[in-house]
Amino acid sequence: MNNHTPHDTELTLGALVDCPTCGLPAEVTDLFTLGGAPGPVEHAKIICVRRHWYTLPLETLTATTAASERTSASAISGQR
């Protein structure tokens, strides 16, 4: 089995992603693997601040935390 993915999307419980419907922050409340073709796919259950909820494959989600970490890191290094 090959679990390596080209992009390193590290989603964990409690991570924030963009809601597909309203674009507001959605929290990952569950992570699980669904068997399917061609192989098992990792899914995340997310619930956004407007209570939209989805079960989506991880690869369709973008973690917003990684982006904000990068932003704050550059803000810190730019600050003196």
Q: For Zn ion, which residue of 15, 48, 58, 63 counts as binding (CB under 5 A)?
A: 48
Q: Which residue has the tokens 């992570």?
A: 31
x/- letters, 8..47, toward Zn ion (CB under 5 A) = -----------x-xx-------------------------
Q: Residue 50, interface with Zn ion (CB under 5 A)?
A: yes
Q: Which stretch binds Zn ion (CB under 5 A): 4-12, 31-39, 50-58, 70-78?
A: 50-58
Tokens of 4: 């390596």
How would DSSP label each residue in 19-48? -TTT-SEEEEEEEEEE--SSS-EEEEEEEE
CB of 60 to Zn ion, least distance (A): 15
Helix then strand then coil, in percent of the chain rounded to 5, is 20, 35, 45
> In the complex, which residues of this chain contact Zn ion (CB under 5 A)?
19, 21-22, 48, 50, 52
